[in-house]
Amino acid sequence: MIKAGIVGGTGYTGVELLRLLAAHPNVELTVITSRGEKGVQVSQLFPNLRGRVDLAFVEPDDALLKSCDVVFFATPNGTAMQSTPVLLEAGVKVIDLAADFRLRQADEWEQWYGIPHACPELLAEAVYGLPEVNRRAIQTARLVANPGCYPTAVQLGFLPLLEAGVIDRQSLIADAKSGVSGAGRKAEVGILLSEVSDSFKAYGVPGHRHLPEIRQGLTAVAGQPVELVFVPHLTPMIRGIHATLYATLVDSDVDLQALFEQRYAAEPFVDVLPPKSHPETRSVRGVNQCRLAVHRPQNGKTVVVLSVIDNLVKGAAGQAVQNMNLMFGLPETAGLEGIALLP
């Protein structure tokens, strides 16, 4: 059994990790940390885990975490990089669900996140944990940077088009919407029910922290720099991301449906829908799945890709478990074979 620890077990991604790992056939939950809830039973704070998780929260302690085989950091940006070098030296594998190791350049990280990087020497080693792109590297990694939620939905949508070279790399647009859980579990006026219900707004238009991550990933796939306009929106729902992606075709003869179906034919967690489909966020609620549909309106020069994920699962905790499976040589789908909740 893999001994797993979670640092930051009280946030939305932390409890989602708990839900998935508690049912994983090859995992033993060993350490779950929370400074604010030290000594509290996990099932007392999260009653859905009653009878499944018989642990209490403890304060973060590198000595305790060193007893694990893998440690997940479901913490604010800037936390994982403080403990990761010590854990790696002890032979513990690390999966960071925050942004500490997603960007390759320390100066770019500091520009977007406002603090110096604590261990820039690890940025080159960290593997970006998008299995559909980096599966082989993840299998041998000891440090994985779990992708963000928006970056997962956007990159999976653009990936086949950029790999095939059939779109203009300089005119990409990602119009993305997220549920409120993407903001995290915190008391903040802007995400109160009475503030977000019956409303809809864009935010971060001048520059969102996920922009450099998305641009970095798409540039790596394309082999050349890309230009991307990324506009996130907040929607009055709890879970889900819907990304509507636009690009200009440079190859008018390409069979877009076949291109997407062939690219993702062997991918267990990407589902390409039939022509003329419109995927819904509820179709992926609670599961580690990205559903895609590709359109070419009026048979023109613009391709439109619709991409939906659950921001807490394929956009966070589920993808982290998928990465763990790869790192430990398990079936990639282990513990992730659930069916989405409807209605």
Cβ atoms 309, 149 nearer than 8 A? yes
How many Cβ atoms sit within 10 Å of the Cβ of residue 155? 28
Instruction: Give kind and range of the element (H or E) at residue 11.
Output: none
Nearest to 72 by CA among 303, 325, 308, 288: 325
Terminus-to-terminus CA distance in the chain, angstroms? 35
User: Which residue type is seen at 3?
Assistant: K
Token code pair at residue 232 = 């996130």
The C-alpha atoms of residue 308 and residue 153 are separated, in whole angstroms, by 6
Nearest to 233 by CA among 294, 297, 281: 281
Concerning whether 149 is annotated as a catalytic residue, the answer is yes
DSSP class per residue in 136-170:
HHHHT-SEEEPPPHHHHHHHHHHHHHHHHT-B-TT
Angle between helix 318-327 and 131-139 (nearest 10)? 40
Give Cα separations from 308 to 10, 74, 129, 238 (angstroms).
25, 22, 18, 14
Token code pair at residue 108 = 């770019």
Catalytic site residue from 68, 119, 149, 290: 149
The C-alpha atoms of residue 288 and residue 270 are separated, in whole angstroms, by 9
Tokens 């499944």 correspond to 52
SS3 246: strand
Which residues are known to be catalytic? 149
